């Protein structure tokens, strides 16, 4: 058995694209999939940028707002997952703080769980 640490203190501050968050890499697979923990403090930001690969953001705790190329802000909270296609412009912000797991790489959105319906509590702003 091996125990690894992906806590905030093991991470690195990210400021590219005007971002304000801590990223702690968890692993990278042989198929070029990166998995990392992202820690956004109050007023945290993952700045507006283009996805290099398909990306899945799993909200572990907290809440925030995400947007894609449509510039439509969507509220997300613990238990939500957001998928962005390769080359899609996107951003994540939070007022109160947010922790998420980011999975980046060769992902097929058709293999994910059923897409959350707006009527199930997802709020558009």
Task: Compute the distance between CA of residue 55 and CA of residue 35 in angstroms, rounded to an integer.
Answer: 10
Whether 63 maps to a domain, the answer reads: yes
Structural domain tally of the chain? 1
| Range with top average pLDDT, 3-17, 19-33, 65-79, 99-113 | 65-79
Asked if residue 108 has pLDDT above 80, the reply is no
Task: Compute the distance between CA of residue 29 and CA of residue 114 in angstroms, rounded to an integer.
Answer: 25
Whether 98 maps to a domain, the answer reads: yes
Whether 113 maps to a domain, the answer reads: no
Q: What is the CATH number of the domain that holds 83?
A: 2.60.120.10
Domain carrying residue 66: 8-106
Task: Compute the distance between CA of residue 28 and CA of residue 21 in angstroms, rounded to an integer.
Answer: 20
Asked if residue 122 has pLDDT above 70, the reply is no
Whether 123 maps to a domain, the answer reads: no
Whether 83 maps to a domain, the answer reads: yes
- The 10s digit of each residue's pLDDT in 38-53 is 999 999 999 999 999 9
């Amino acid at each position: 058995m091996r125990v690894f640490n992906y806590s905030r203190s093991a991470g690195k501050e990210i400021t590219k694209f005007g971002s304000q968050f801590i990223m702690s890499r968890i692993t990278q697979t042989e198929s070029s999939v990166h998995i990392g923990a992202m820690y956004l403090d109050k007023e945290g930001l993952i700045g507006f940028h283009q996805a290099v690969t398909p990306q899945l953001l799993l909200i572990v705790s907290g809440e925030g707002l995400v947007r894609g190329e449509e510039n439509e802000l969507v509220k997300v909270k613990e238990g939500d997952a957001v998928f962005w296609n390769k080359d899609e412009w996107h951003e994540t912000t939070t007022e109160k703080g947010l922790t998420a797991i980011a999975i980046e790489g060769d992902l097929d959105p058709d293999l994910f769980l059923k897409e959350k319906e707006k009527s199930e509590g997802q709020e558009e702003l």
